[in-house]
Chain A
C-alpha cells in the first residue's frame, strides 16, 4: 500500500531524521492543520498528528493526517489507548492504512484527569506495549487480536514513545526493550533537557541491543515564554534541568523565545554526538512556524522530498 515512506527511507539509510509535532485545532477549521503542515513541509521527514493530546478534545488525528497528506507532508498518526477499546484501536489502525498513512505512533495516553473532560471514563483496555504488539501482529501475521485474517494486511511503520527521565530510571531502557520485543520500529522520547542523562539511557538501550532494532528519535523543543515554562512544569513526565530554567529566567521577557531556540539548537548539537541516535523529534505545541528556524539553526538543512502523493495509493 505504501511501499516507501520518507521516514522509513531516512531511518533505513541512516540519514539523521527529523520529525515534528503537528497539533490539530480545537475546532473544525482545516486551515490550522494546513498552515502547520506547510510550515513543516521542507523541514521534516514526517509530522506527528497528535491524538487528543493532554486529554483535551481536538480534531481527530486521522482527519489531521489526511489534511497533512494533502499538503504533501508525511503524517505519523498518533493513537492512544485512553479513548478506545481494542476494537476501535484496530479499526482505526486499518483506516490509517487504507488512507495511505504510512506511520503510526502508539501510546497509552495522558490520564483524563489532566484534560478538559476529567469526568470521562478512561478506557485503557490495552496498554501501549499490548497495542504495539497488536499492530505488529496485524502487519506481519495479517491477523487481528481475535485471530481473524486481514486481507490485505497493513504496512505502516510502528512507533512508540519512552520517557528516559521518569522513575524508575533503571527500568526505562528495559521498558523500551518490551516495546521493541513487541514490534516497535522507532521510538520518540520525551523532551531532552538533560543530555548526559539521555546519553546514559541510550547507552543502556544500546547494551541491550535495542538501538540497532529500533530507531531512537530524541524529543526536543522550544519553551516559548516563562508562562509556557510554568505550564511545562505542570505536565507529568517533563523534567526541565535547572541550567535551562536559569538561562530562561536570566533574560528579558522578550528574549525568552530566542534564548530557548538557542538552547534547543545547542541540545540538538550535543545530541548528534551520541552514537546510534537516529534523529530528533521537535515538539513546539502548536507553534510549527518555529520548527524551520530550529532545524536550520542546528545545521540539519531542508529535506529533499519526492512528492508523498506519488507514492501513496
Chain B
C-alpha cells in the first residue's frame, strides 16, 4: 500500500480518465437550465438539423464537451445521468458507478482513488439532500451503450433516445427485467 497518497502516479495521467468532479453550478441553477433544455419541438428540430450536417454536429459536440467538461467533468459518454444525480456526474467516478457510491469512500467523504477529492456520490447526495431530492438517487440506472462515447448527449436527449436510461420507480419494488432500452 505504498502507493496510497500518490494518486497521480498510481492512477496515471492519461487523457479522459475519470476524476471525481464537484459541479461548477448549484443544483437550483442546474434545474433552471434543465427546464430550458428539456426536450421540445425547437430542440428536436435543432438535433435533427445537427445530425444531418457532420460539420455542425462536430462543432456542437465540441461546444457541449467544453461547457459540460468545465461544469461537471463531463467525459462525453453521451447518455447523460445528470438530471437524476443532482447534477454531479457519476462518470467522473473512477469506477464509473452510475448507481451510487462504492464501499471504499473514506471516512471524510473522499474518493478512495483520489484522496483529497470528494467522492462524487457524496457530493451528489449532499446536493440532493439540500434540495429535498434524494429520491432521485434511488432510481436504477441501466448499463450505458459503450458505442455512444464522444457523441452529443443533448442531441440524443432531445430525440428521446435517453428514455429508459433509469427506472421511474423510487420505492425499491422489484424492478422489471433489465433488458435493453
Contact = CB atoms under 8 A, between A and B. Distances in A.
Verify that A and B bind, or say they do not: yes
Contacts of B98: 127, 130
A181 B12 CA distance: 36
Interface band, chain A: 35 or more
Given A111-B113, A126-B143, A133-B140, A178 B95 contact: no
B54 interface: no
A114 B1 contact: yes
Interface string A147-190: 10000000000000111001110110011011011110000001
Contacts of B95: 82, 108-109, 111, 122, 124, 127
Interface stretch (B69-77, B118-126, B155-163): B118-126
A26 to B, nearest CB: 17
B101 A171 contact: yes
Contact of A167 (B12, B109, B169): B109
A136 to B, nearest CB: 8
B140 A178 contact: yes
A174 B134 contact: yes
Interface string B108-135: 1100110000010110011001000010
B178 A133 contact: yes
A127 B141 CA distance: 9
Contacts of A141: 177
Interface string B139-181: 0111100100000000000000000000101001111011110
A255 B95 CA distance: 40
B107 A239 contact: yes
Interface string A129-142: 11001101100110
Nearest to B112: A236
A143 B107 CA distance: 40
The 10 closest A-B pairs by CB, nearest first: A236-B104, A163-B103, A236-B112, A129-B99, A168-B125, A177-B172, A234-B1, A166-B105, A133-B178, A237-B104
Interface of B: 1, 3-4, 7, 10-12, 94-109, 112-113, 119, 121-122, 125-126, 129, 134, 137-138, 140-143, 146, 167, 169, 172-175, 177-180
18 contacts: A108-B102, A111-B104, A114-B3, A114-B112, A125-B146, A127-B95, A129-B100, A133-B140, A140-B177, A143-B177, A161-B103, A167-B107, A170-B134, A171-B121, A171-B134, A174-B134, A178-B138, A181-B169
Given A166-B107, A167-B109, 8 more contacts: A114-B1, A124-B95, A130-B99, A133-B175, A137-B177, A166-B105, A168-B109, A237-B105
